[in-house]
Amino acid sequence: MTGFSENRSFDAVVIGSGATGGYAAQQLCKAGLDVAVIEAGSSVLPPACSRGTTGRTPIQARCSAYNQRTSPYFIEDLPNPYSTLPDKPFSWIRSRMVGGRTLIWSGQCYRMSDLDFKAGEADGHGESWPITYQELAPFYAQAERLLEVTGTCDGIAQLPDGCFSGPSPANALLLHLREAFARRGAKLIPARISVRSSNGGSSCVRCGRVNAGCIEHSTSVNSTLAAAMATGRLTLFSDTIVRHLASDREGNAIAAYVIDRESHREFKISGGMFFLCASTLESTRILLNSGSAAHSAGLGNSGGTLGHYLVDHLSGISLTAQFRYSGDTGENGSRPVHLLYIPRSHNLSHDRSEDFLRGYGWQVTAMRIDDYSPDSGPGCGAGATRSQSETRRRLSDTYVLRMQAFGEMLPRFENYVEIDPAGLRDAWGVPALRIHCAHGANEKVMARHMIASAYAFADALGASVISCNKTLSEPGLSVHEAGTCRMGPDPKNSVLNRFNQCHDAPNVFVTDGSSFTSQGTQNPTLTMMALTARACEYAVQQARRNDLKRRPKHRSQ
């Protein structure tokens, strides 16, 4: 292509360096492949003072994780535009850094179950996933060990137990809360969290404090990318923006055409296989921009499904209350913040128990009122230097409870993304997206149920409500967007097969959230990583058999 001046070739090319991109790099490098990772962002964090105003990041500033300290981890909105319709707002939260959104994620790790994978069969809405829980379970275990997930085995069918690196021990406060919530039909458990065991006293990303009892989560930078780099087989292209994938006459991907972010110089990176791990909408944008003679409507879009069935967790419904508790909490002064979780408890069988489909769960935080700060992240602690006796002497017996609901959005064809028909482009000339997404009737009924449940929980606890947000956030703000490149057995209504392999281009794999057939209620990162490990194992096997490319069709004589 005119203007592209270089050509580097690798066994595998991974686009994106976050949770799935880093994991794909590690798995493929360990399998003996020479791997390129292409990351649009930098490996050097800009100073917070240069990005500390929301004038440059008005959309990103809507994210709950955004503050002056975390602002450098987010993109600037002006050079990275997209469009929406006036009645369908969508906040696309993006991080362009080596490590992606793992640098600012909450670390919550939950397995999905067959209640989620087979939801379409259970309630008749949409399609079921082309995989079962048992097929994914061993890859969940691998990801949990890598992420050092702590948790307890609770025997909950809709939230399978994991392979935990350490327990989240029960204490009297948890038992007190659990008894109150059980009276409302909910099971409260310790949150299942990625907790790095070797954080070395580094400062907290969200609050900036050192040794304050804050939880540090695994990132791709300090885990998978580091492991991949240690093999000597990884080449990292940072500050490199992917424009599109090129394909041969048979439809196989042959190269990623890229742009240097600083110089705008263009070149290409060739590969034998390609893993798209750039985040849900970015991966889909690349595929939509990858039209060719073999892929007239975008790579993988022969069935017209690419870009459709966009979902994002219902979020925004939250309640903050205070309650009294004078019993022993088991605190040792180093981590007074209690992170808890309430799994989905509605529509658990084929017989619907509510007037909405699917369900929702709750992320719960409890802490003494002395340690409460609205500006701190959910894993931020306080007072690690206080001794246990000082803690008991200084702190009151009043606690703050914060509950945030996350519900499943139904996948619908009319929620979709496309290349902006007005010709909108980013600062590097890459065609931008137009996003069409709105909550439907099912989501609105579920939201009303969330609000009623929140008040019922507070009442069961004898808590006084400080505030309750009763308005759903616009799609995008849960930062759990998924779909648009979904898995399925039929190329006519899906883009990927059961191994995250593109139906139309067998050497292309997509393993980020765009591959989800439906969303469930759980945080998506653990499932994305399990899918990535499974896809990598399959891709390596197929490559060794030389089965990753379509062959030319021979005409009959």
CATH code of the domain containing 421: 3.50.50.60
For residues 29 and 234, the answer to whether their CB atoms sit within 8 Å is yes
What are the pLDDT digits (tens) for 401-453?
Answer: 999 999 999 999 999 999 999 999 999 999 999 999 999 999 999 999 999 99
Q: In this prediction, what percent of the chain has a pLDDT beyond 90?
A: 79
Domain boundary among 450, 474, 498: 474
Please identify which residue in the block is written with the tokens 């469009």: 83
pLDDT of residue 168: 67
Domain boundary among 474, 497, 519: 474
pLDDT at 525 over 50: yes
CB count in 10 Å sphere of residue 81: 15
Residue 295 or 390, more confident: 295
Residues 105, 219: Cα–Cα separation, whole Å: 9
Q: Is residue 114 part of a domain?
A: no
For residues 100 and 80, the answer to whether their CB atoms sit within 8 Å is no
Query: Are 381 and 506 within one domain?
Result: no
The number of distinct structural domains making up the chain is 2
pLDDT at 113 over 50: yes
Q: Is residue 300 part of a domain?
A: yes
What are the pLDDT digits (tens) for 201-231?
Answer: 667 777 777 766 678 899 999 999 999 999 9
pTM value is 0.94
Query: Are 452 and 525 within one domain?
Result: no
Mean pLDDT, range 366-380, rounded to an integer: 72
Mean pLDDT, range 286-302, rounded to an integer: 97
Query: Are 230 and 182 within one domain?
Result: no
Q: How confident is the model at residue 555 (pLDDT cuts 50, 70, 90)?
A: very low
Q: Which domain holds residue 485?
A: 1-45+58-105+219-313+413-438+481-548
Q: How confident is the model at residue 471 (pLDDT cuts 50, 70, 90)?
A: very high
Query: Are 266 and 181 within one domain?
Result: no
Helix H or strand E encompassing 174: helix 172-182
Query: Are 504 and 514 within one domain?
Result: yes
Q: Is residue 66 part of a domain?
A: yes
Query: Are 354 and 455 within one domain?
Result: yes
Query: Are 397 and 251 within one domain?
Result: no
For residues 267 and 280, the answer to whether their CB atoms sit within 8 Å is no
For residues 547 and 499, the answer to whether their CB atoms sit within 8 Å is no
Q: Is residue 504 part of a domain?
A: yes
Q: Is residue 163 part of a domain?
A: yes
What are the pLDDT digits (tens) for 274-287?
Answer: 999 999 999 999 99
Mean pLDDT, range 22-43, rounded to an integer: 97
Query: Are 193 and 244 within one domain?
Result: no
Q: Is residue 132 part of a domain?
A: no
- Crossing angle for the helix pair 133-147 and 525-544, nearest 10 degrees? 110
Q: Is residue 554 part of a domain?
A: no
The mean predicted confidence, pLDDT, of the chain is: 90
Query: Are 397 and 424 within one domain?
Result: no
pLDDT at 391 over 60: no
Domain boundary among 454, 474, 494: 474
What are the pLDDT digits (tens) for 195-209?
Answer: 987 655 667 777 777
188: closest CA among 401, 19, 15, 5? 401
pLDDT at 488 over 70: yes
Q: Is residue 131 part of a domain?
A: no
Q: How confident is the model at residue 133 (pLDDT cuts 50, 70, 90)?
A: very high
Query: Are 396 and 460 within one domain?
Result: yes
How many CA within 13 A on the CB side of residue 8? Answer: 16
Contacts 24+ apart (CB under 8 A), 551-554: 551/250, 552/249, 552/250
